[in-house]
A and B are shown apart, each in its own frame.
Chain A
Amino acid sequence: MKLEYSGQENVQANPEKVWSFIQDPNKVASCLPDLKAVEFKDERNMVATVGVAVGPVRGSFKFNIELDPHPEENKVMVRIRGGGLGSAVDLTASADILGQDDQTTLLDWQGQATVSGPAATVGGRVLDAQAKRLIETVFANMSKKMSEV
């Protein structure tokens, strides 16, 4: 099952703050909803265990998350691969980081995910709604934490 999303989020922080935030896996991980455990491999890679509920598919998924910042292009790429409970998720996302003014940064983002296994076959009907909610929560958390920095 292929999912594609895009959107724009205004974060109440200047671009420097945003850059420093998203290059810190520790901080990025703290924005993941229902985070159970995280293991940092290096400054770009981490393994996060996250609680997931897609319809009747409920439990922990383990994700390899790679952050790939391209400051020269004002862009950050994120690759997430993993899964659990017999399901697999393969996600690629990118965000353009565009300063609006001293206090505001626009994240112009898009992402494509491929979901296989029960999360798609059994949870397919609610997957789209759940994925949107997950994305909204991640951005809400980021926005909140960045503005606190």
Chain B
Amino acid sequence: MAVESANLEPKGIQGLGKAIKRKEDPRFIVGKGNYLDDINLPGMLHMALVHSPYAHAKILNIDTSEALKIPGVKAVITSKELAGAGLAWIPTLAGDKQMVLADGKVLYQYQEVAAVFAESRQAAADGAAAVQVEYEPLPVVVDPFKATAPDAPVLREDIKGNMTGAHGPRRHDNHIWTWDVGSKDETEKALAQSEVRIKQHMVYPRSHPAPLEPCGCIGDMNKATGRLTVYMTSQAPHAIRTVLSLVTGIPENNIRVISPDIGGGFGNKVPVYPGYVCAIVGSIVLGAPVKWVETRTENLTTTGFARDFHMDIEIGATKEGKVTAMKVYTLADHGAFDAAADPSKYPAGLFSICTGSYDFQKAYAQVEAVYTNKAPGGVAYRCSFRVTEASYLIERSMDVLAHELKMDPAELRLKNFIQPSQFPYPSALGWTYDSGDYEKTLKVALERIGYAELRKEQAEKRARGELMGIGISTFTEIVGAGPSKDFDILGIKMFDGAEIRVHPSGSAIVRAGTRHQGQGHETTWAQIVSEELGLDVDKIIVEEGDTDTAPYGLGTYASRSTPTAGGAMALGARRIREKAKKIAAHLLEVGENDVEWVDKKFVVKGVPGKSVTMNEVAFAAYTNLPPGMEPGLETTYYYDPPNLTFPHGAYICVVDIDKGTGEVKVRRFVAIDDCGTIINPMIVEGQVHGGLTEGFAMAFMQEIAFDEQGNNLSSNFTDYLLPTALETPKWETGHTVTPSPHHPIGAKGVGESPTVGSPAAFVNAVVDALAHLGVRHIDMPITREKVWKVLRQAGVDSF
């Protein structure tokens, strides 16, 4: 039966700004998501890893004989076997190299030492437990400040004496690189001339994204076809395919990476981990699919951690509170290998956004990275390449400055904001901010929370000896990596792609190089296409994560999907609309110049009643084309953004502190975000809720801690805490809209704003509550015990 074009009136155009329900949710709600561990292939083997109990030790011997006797165990591999395949070491994204399995020594606790392949997960685990490894413990470096002491043990003997690294000279065998930006001399001069100066040391402790689904993969080498299929919990499947091709030598067209539904990533699922390599090698060697799924402890102890920045800041200002200059020194603990997933040009990520929302005329930042006996990583956890550390540093420091000046922190911020007329704003550390209206956003937040009344209440309570604090954070993010002129990973430019295919009956399939892990791309991409093409949003299906079908892209992390793939989606749709316009003119029997796109229809100029819908055009694209036109209605678009985007926000937190127990209760938290054009307000709100909860966790609960021997003291969920509904405060959200002038739909990205912006608001509130007791700073996580000790030290002993 022929399709009748008259029946193709689109019903549900739901474009930008519509809070439609998430299209991906029904399958998750009814338990029909398809996660990595749901995939089982015929003849599949399981892999388990043997881990080092020591943080630093020589390996004297590995005896696999007992493991091989266990029923079901098929093989055990060590570094020796990997060396045979040229895979004992692999390059990291940061220009370093890392062991896949321990090669002669271990450099951090839980480092992977051997891989056991067996017929069942249980047999693999038994086999791993039966591998006997003889170690000779070595002195351990846990404290990054002691890493470059003259007598510090050399950790990376493989590069001992090599004083040039991927990012310049090394001054010690445990030193990785020094990176700086800005003018040191001019900044120091401006600081010397400043009327007021503050200095503060602060630590952003090591944390971990801890997605509920740990990492895993299935390597499936088909020996008959030579084709390797890898199912993997990856936020960046295309980049993984390229890396796999480079390290294994398998042609890239013979590698297919499928990233199924992902149970949270937060950056933890960007890198290549030793387990992935071992599972793939196992499949190649054994000729069977090999599945590896991490345990919780493996995830927390060996995969990409976050932060571990030890920061010193100095800010100069006038007596009236106008900032003049800032100087920053940071020691970055990168663990045993430099495996941070930063863009190639930026070894300290985008940390140089540390001037924040303020008009600093002079600034200088220096970051040094060192090796320690800890797991490698360093960027993950809902953070656009170190923007979280940068934002925390400046927002915490502005409160320190306000305290020094005896000025209200809101007033200090209002006095120093970059003004709307200054955009595009060139920062002292080299970025060009696209747009922002910081004063407006802060004023919305101040009014919403009733700031003046809260300050009155605080004064009254303080007079009665009660502890109440108000913390503000007016952060600026830097997301959307990125423009190809500056941003690449392993030389691959960080653009992203979109493919749109409109079918004859007005439905469409849309694919992107990104890979969502809960961000709602299946809904937001459909809404962008619905907006641009006037198609029914329910008839647009979105696919991501299969490198055989999706266009190339660098993946989803660092709040980059909407700034990059979102732009590709809009511009791809507009390219389709250009062709559609020609078809519309043909259908309307007028010249192309007489057709315009009005209210998501093609209308004859001046004749409002004479129009055709995109559905009718789509039908014609396959049935009734203008003579000589190529049939079909589809495109692939690669979008190279001209700049990054700079979302911002104003967060205000109110806390009450129990003097007796040190318990901090977050009474209110208002978050006003400005992420430019909002695609789906409900999804944005959901992102903000999730991010605030994670920011709350970092501020009050989370730290990956080590003892002197390098034992990881946060290897499970009884020691590394995730906030539940019980602890989580109630969030009050809102927004202002300052579109990005260069993004096709004015959107900026929002996924990371709440984790980036909120920690400083929490800490500022706690310090504000204790400021009159002489407290100037407390490092995260602000546990009850820490506050209790601060109170006792301040002489507070009454309850």
Contacts and interface: CB of A to CB of B under 8 A. Distances in A.
Contact of B53 (A2, A88, A124, A125): A88
Given A90-B137, A122-B297, A122-B716, A114 B51 contact: no
A117 B710 CA distance: 10
Contacts of A87: 53
Contacts of B50: 86
Nearest to A114: B709
B54 interface: yes
B51 to A, nearest CB: 6
Interface string B86-118: 000000000000000000000001000000000
B53 A116 contact: yes
Contacts of B541: none
B62 interface: no
A31 B109 CA distance: 32
A6 interface: no
A88 B716 contact: no
A2 to B, nearest CB: 7
Contact of A118 (B710, B715, B718): B715
A115 B52 CA distance: 12
Interface in A101-136: 114-118, 120-122, 124-125
Interface string B136-154: 0100000000000000000
Contact of A117 (B53, B708, B718, B719): B53
A88 B54 contact: yes
B711 A116 contact: yes
Contacts of A121: 109, 297, 301, 711-713, 715-716, 719
B797 interface: no
B129 interface: yes
B711 A124 contact: yes
Nearest to A84: B129
Contacts of A120: 707, 709, 711
B135 interface: yes
B782 interface: no
Given A116-B53, A117-B53, A1 B109 contact: no
B137 A2 contact: no
B293 interface: no
Contacts of A140: none
Contacts of B51: 86, 117
A117 B108 CA distance: 11
B542 interface: no
A83 B403 CA distance: 53
Interface string A1-36: 110000000000000000000000000000000000
Contacts of B109: 116-117, 121
B715 A85 contact: no
B405 to A, nearest CB: 44
B55 interface: yes
B715 A122 contact: yes
B119 to A, nearest CB: 22
Interface in A35-70: 59
Q: How large is the interface on B (under 10, 10 to 19, 20 to 34, 35 or more residues)?
A: 20 to 34
Contacts of B55: 116
Interface residues of A, number: 20
B638 to A, nearest CB: 45
Contacts of B713: 121, 124
B132 to A, nearest CB: 9
A39 B707 CA distance: 34
B396 to A, nearest CB: 31
Contact of B711 (A1, A83, A84, A125): A1
Nearest to A60: B129
Interface in B697-712: 707-712
Nearest to A89: B53
Given A88-B54, A116-B109, A1 B709 contact: yes
Contacts of A122: 297, 715-716
A1 B713 CA distance: 9
B715 A116 contact: no
Contacts of B137: 90, 114, 116
A88 B134 CA distance: 10
Contacts of A116: 53-55, 109, 137, 709-711
Contacts of A114: 137, 709
A61 B55 CA distance: 20
A85 B137 CA distance: 18
A88 B135 contact: yes
A85 B50 CA distance: 10
B129 A2 contact: no
Contacts of B712: 121
A35 B297 CA distance: 29
Contacts of A59: 129
A35 to B, nearest CB: 20
Contacts of A88: 53-54, 135
B721 to A, nearest CB: 14
Nearest to B51: A86
Contacts of A124: 711, 713, 719
A53 to B, nearest CB: 16
Contacts of A86: 50-51, 53, 129
A124 B707 CA distance: 11
Contact of A83 (B53, B301, B716): B53
Nearest to A56: B716
Contact of B129 (A85, A90, A115, A125): A85
Nearest to A124: B713
A96 B51 CA distance: 38
A148 to B, nearest CB: 37
A121 B711 CA distance: 6
A131 to B, nearest CB: 15
A120 B715 CA distance: 10
B715 A2 contact: no
Given A86-B51, A87-B53, A122-B715, A2 B297 contact: no
Contacts of B708: 2
A5 to B, nearest CB: 17
A85 B129 CA distance: 6
B105 to A, nearest CB: 15
A98 to B, nearest CB: 33
A73 B551 CA distance: 78
Contact of B709 (A2, A83, A84, A125): A2
* Residue with the greatest number of chain B CB neighbours at <10 A, chosen from A83, A90, A116, A125: A116
Interface in B292-332: 297, 301
A113 to B, nearest CB: 11
A116 B711 CA distance: 6
Contacts of B52: 117
A87 B716 CA distance: 16
B23 to A, nearest CB: 41
Interface in B676-718: 707-713, 715-716, 718
Contacts of B707: 1-2, 120
Contacts of B711: 1, 115-117, 120-121, 124
Contacts of A83: 53
A14 B500 CA distance: 91
Contacts of B135: 88
Nearest to A59: B129
Interface string B26-69: 00000000000000000000000011111100000000000000
A132 to B, nearest CB: 19
A86 B709 CA distance: 15
A66 B665 CA distance: 54
Across the A-B interface, give the 5 residue pairs with the lowest CB-CB distance, nearest first.
A117-B53, A116-B53, A88-B53, A121-B715, A120-B711
Given A114-B137, A116-B137, A125-B719, 11 more contacts: A86-B51, A86-B53, A88-B53, A116-B709, A116-B711, A118-B715, A121-B109, A121-B715, A122-B715, A124-B711, A125-B718
11 contacts: A83-B53, A86-B51, A86-B129, A114-B709, A116-B53, A116-B137, A117-B53, A120-B709, A121-B301, A124-B713, A125-B719
